[in-house]
Chains A and B, each alone.
Chain A
Amino acid sequence: MKTPGNLVTLFALALVSTAAGAETVSVAVAANFTGPMNEIAEAFGEDTGHQAKTSFGSSGKFYAQIRNGAPFEVFLSADAEKPAQLVEDGLTVPDTTFTYALGSLVLWSADAELIQDGPRVLGRNQFRKLAIANPKLAPYGAAAIEVLEKLDVDQLVTPKLVQGENIAQTYQFVSTGNAELGFVALSQVIQDGEIGSGSGWVVPADMHAPIRQDAVILARGAENPAAHALMDYLQGERAQSIIRAYGYGLSK
């Protein structure tokens, strides 16, 4: 960009691309989906010219904010319950809900030696604390409880349970060693397709009810083409391969 001429061209291009219908969409995204969403938002910008303005946080807080007029147009929740509730509240565009990702659960420890033979470490019961996400709030927590019951160790480990308010905090408890092990999201520990550090056991998906993460277009986004474009994009090939690379499953 050495000459004023180039600058003028650039401005002209910018004007043209605006005229071509590039819009901005504000998206409320569940914190556990931060990594993939950053990549998807970038790809979305490259491929469609639209811009996704992302806010990351707890789904429960987003729900409260949306009910009270927060200016979000698309909501990517960490569960299926809150989008469904918003549909009931009449705050969404009808029939736009879909499952954008399925969460995978992993029993994980920061200690590379601890989890060598899958879930048997739970039965041996030689640990101080087992971290799970709050089962009342986080689907990952509810799934962890289901797995413990299925393994028939729930009675055994209940006195040792500590709860993170969400899956991010649960990960923090385990990664700092304050809890020797815990049930976290595979997306938190995956690196190039496998568990990056420590040791772990990826829980088979049939041991718990699917952890459905649903997306929905909110009433404020009804007229925004970028909101609809983003929903389509999430179901496209490029987005789905990003989602898979982060250890999420896809709903069929």
Chain B
Amino acid sequence: MGFSDADLQAIWLTLRLAGLVTILLLLIGTPIAWWLARTRSRWKGPVGAVVALPLVLPPTVLGFYLLLAMGPNGPVGQLTQALGIGLLPFTFWGLVVASVFYSMPFVVQPIQNAIEALGERPLEVAATLRAGPWDRFFSVVLPLARPGFLTAAILGFAHTVGEFGVVLMIGGNIPGATRVVSVQIYDHVEAMEYGQAHWLAASMVVFSFLVLLALYTLNPRQRTF
């Protein structure tokens, strides 16, 4: 049987979404992780908790609030309309924004752990050698915390690929824009097309296994959670 054109379109869309979200999350998540790892502010607890929320919230809760917030009467929706972007639900970029929230803890926490594990010492030494803040980050933190960044990137990517509940709530199932693999599998199952569902679902299982295998092979000693 193999993949239909619609399946291939969903796979390609999913990879694009996950790739883009991973890049954005590394850019956004790194400063947050850095701050969380090093701050003594009393806001550390609340901010850490907000970042971790998607770990415990059912995706449908997150999706429902995102739908309300990004809708025409929600604060985000009014902002995007005022900026002339229009509304985010039912668009590819809406999924990107939602996924950034949804996969945030999977990127922030490994990086935060890695930076915390470094301790103060290497940074202090670098500072005495007159390395500026950027230099310290790129020459000291990045190489030493590399396994943490790698873990973050792989987990962020894989988790976005596996996302379902949020996409279902705000996606609107538009081919080529919001119909990702997990939704396509759901559609196949609901339509009693079990053969097609098997093809996609089995590919997801293989993909997830390979991702985790890569993670554990590349980072044998790194704790992922």
Binding site for B on A (CB under 8 A): 58, 60-61, 63-64, 82, 85, 128-129, 131, 134, 136-137, 161-165, 169, 172-173, 176-179
Contacts and interface: CB of A to CB of B under 8 A. Distances in A.
B67 to A, nearest CB: 6
A134 B173 contact: yes
Contacts of A64: 189, 192
13 contacts: A58-B190, A60-B191, A60-B192, A85-B192, A134-B173, A161-B174, A163-B172, A165-B186, A165-B190, A172-B169, A173-B89, A178-B90, A179-B90
A162 B71 contact: no
B90 A63 contact: no
B87 interface: yes
A64 B192 CA distance: 8
B68 interface: yes
A165 B168 contact: yes
B82 to A, nearest CB: 16
A176 B190 contact: no
A128 B191 CA distance: 28
A136 B191 contact: yes
Given A176-B67, A176-B71, A178-B89, A164 B190 contact: no
Nearest to A133: B173
A172 B173 contact: no
B90 A177 contact: no
Interface residues of B, number: 23
A114 to B, nearest CB: 13
Contacts of B70: 178
B217 interface: no
Chain A interface main SS type: mixed
A146 B192 CA distance: 22
Contacts of B186: 165
B192 A163 contact: no
Interface of B: 67-68, 70-73, 86-87, 89-90, 168-170, 172-174, 183, 186-187, 189-192
A162 B86 CA distance: 16
Contacts of A176: 67-68, 71, 73
A128 B87 contact: yes
B172 to A, nearest CB: 3
Nearest to A165: B168
B133 to A, nearest CB: 43
A165 B173 contact: yes
Contact of B173 (A60, A63, A162): A162
A131 B186 CA distance: 19
Nearest to B64: A172
A125 B210 CA distance: 48
Contacts of B168: 165, 169
B105 to A, nearest CB: 26
Contacts of A177: 71-73
B67 A172 contact: yes
B190 A163 contact: no
Contacts of B183: 165
Given A61-B190, A137-B190, A165-B186, A173 B172 contact: yes
Contact of B174 (A128, A137, A163): A163
Contact of B187 (A61, A129, A137, A169): A137
Contacts of B68: 176
Nearest to A176: B71
B172 A162 contact: yes
Given A85-B192, A162-B90, A173-B89, 16 more contacts: A60-B189, A60-B191, A60-B192, A82-B192, A134-B173, A137-B187, A137-B190, A164-B172, A165-B173, A172-B169, A176-B67, A176-B71, A178-B67, A178-B70, A178-B87, A179-B90
